[in-house]
Amino acid sequence: MEADLLRFATAGSVDDGKSTLIGRLLFDSKSLFSDQLESVERVSRERGDEYTDLSLLTDGLRAEREQGITIDVAYRYFATPRRKFIIADTPGHTQYTRNMVTGASTADVALVLVDARKGMTEQSRRHAFIATLLGVPHMVVCVNKMDLVDWSEEIFENIRREFTEFAARLRLRDLTFIPLSALSGDNVVTRSTNMPWFDGAPLLSHLERLHVASDRNLVDVRFPVQYVVRPQSHENRDYRGYAGTIASGVLKPGDRIRALPAGLDTEITTIETADGPVTEAYPPMAVTITLKDEIDISRGDMLCRPNNVPAVMQDIDAQVCWMDESAPLTAGKTYAIKHTTRWARAVVKQIDYRIDINTLHRVEGVEGLALNEIGRIRLRSTKPLFVDPYLSNRQTGGFILVDESTNRTVAAGMVVRESGS
């Protein structure tokens, strides 16, 4: 079987050993190169570290090394014969919530690190909350630094109990706990002999075997039209193909489809790729679809099944994470909104509440949302968007807001439910 792709997100501070864990995964899976390791060993030696600081592998920019912090999402890659892994590595402090949101947005799995000596912290709660908010289907809690608590099963079990109680308030589908030591490598790639009481798999085996295929939505056909292919050549004079990436569902030639916003139905003639036609297409394939009837369809439109359509609406309730430091999200202000391949403008009608991400409490009566704050808002868009609730469809439930005066991406939004349209 060919290797597939798994994306996971990690978050945490330097203290809880996250960078060391990533360094360990790369090192033990033999994905580290000798010149990278030499450079890290040299810096470690020059600093007088007692052991090679694997965290130096991931803290890349000079500004970061100078300040001893991580300022952004870093992407790392490693592969085993079963899978290729993409790690979105983000710093864990409050001020980096936006990076955590970015990393979690495409992740299949969230790794939450807990220092065995400290137990659950606000940071681990925050990370678990954000991963859930972003609909990450799997979570692995890595109870790290077990070597510093004498490999104690009791300590591990206490953390597991506390975290499970907390997680009951979140919508988590799959939660796994692994006791490990990133520094010594116990239960990272190889099974620990120091913790015979743990009968689960080491982290890497768990990530290799995790079943993610069924996380994709293969039921609701959603095809946002991204680009209209019109060759303008003699041999392809009448060719008109709708190119895009399957957001969800499975499409086949001959399927009846409805084009939104036109609301007209037709049939799929062919599903094409540059390598030839295919008999079916599923997410996240990038294909070009030709249709039986000529319907006026352009970028930003959506193809779906006549009996299974997204909500077509302008009033949108959403959770948003505010990502801009220059100005807060403000009720009454208008932003550009990008949803699938469709741009519109949207005015913030109201801010319902802010979520205190440490306590998960709702704070009502807020004037705005500042950088890294998360809240629930209502938007009204200038034209209809074709949306599904984020929890049932990450592709058609997510959107970004852009400040038109700066062109900066200022918010990530997740559609909560269809409101009256």
Partner 1 sequence: MKSHVMSQLAALEAESIHIFREVAAEMERPCLLFSGGKDSIVMLHVARKAFAPAPIPFPVMHVDTGLNFAEVIAFRDRWAAQLGLRLVVASVQDAIERGVVKEEPNGSRNRIQTPVLLEAAAREKFDALFGGGRRDEEKARAKERVFSFRDEFGQWDPKNQRPEIWSLYNGRVFPGESIRVFPLSNWTELDIWSYIAEEEIEIPSLYLAAEREVVERDGMLYAVNEFVPLRSGETSQKRSVRYRTMGDANLTAAVESVANTVAKVVEEIAAVRITERGATRGDDKVSEAAMEDRKKEGYF
Q: Does 219 participate in binding partner 1 (rule CB under 8 A)? A: no
Residue of the chain from 21, 54, 74, 189 that contacts partner 1 (CB under 8 A): 74
Tell me the sheet residues that pair with 74.
89
Q: Which of 14, 28, 41, 83 binds partner 1 (CB under 8 A)?
A: 83
Which member of 206, 305, 333, 408 binds partner 1 (CB under 8 A)?
408
Task: Write the DSSP symbol of residue 213.
Answer: G
Q: Which stretch binds partner 1 (CB under 8 A): 59-67, 191-199, 304-312, 375-383?
A: 59-67
Cis ω before 284 (30° cut-off from 0): yes
Site residues for partner 1, window 18-57 (CB under 8 A)?
Answer: 33-36, 39
Give CA–CA dist 62/278, Å, rounded: 47
Q: Is 84 in the site for partner 1 (CB under 8 A)?
A: yes
Ranges of H-type helices in 185-330 = 203-209
Examine residue 329 and tell whether it contacts partner 1 (CB under 8 A): no
Part in contact with partner 1 (CB under 8 A); list of ranges 45-53, 142-150, 196-204, 213-221: 213-221
Residue 238 is a binding residue for partner 1 (CB under 8 A) = no
* The two three-digit tokens of residue 383, written as one number: 């034209």
The residue (of 115 and 220) whose beta carbon lies closer to partner 1 is 220
Q: Is 67 in the site for partner 1 (CB under 8 A)?
A: no
**Helix and strand totals (H; E) in the chain:** 7, 23
Binding segment for partner 1 (CB under 8 A), chosen from 159-167, 172-180, 235-243, 251-259, is: 235-243
The minimum distance between CB 394 and partner 1, in angstroms, equals 7
CB of 168 or CB of 274, closer to partner 1: 274
Q: Which is nearer to partner 1, 4 or 356 (CB)?
A: 4
Q: Checking DSSP bridges between strand 222-224 and strand 264-273, what pairing results, if any?
A: unpaired
- Contacting residue, 14, 28, 41, 71, with partner 1 by CB under 8 A: 71
314 Cβ neighbours under 8 A, 6+ residues apart: 380, 381, 382, 383, 384, 385, 421
CA atoms of 4 and 208, how far apart (whole Å) = 10
User: Shortest CA distance to 82 belongs to which of 211, 254, 260?
Assistant: 211
The two three-digit tokens of residue 319, written as one number = 């959770």
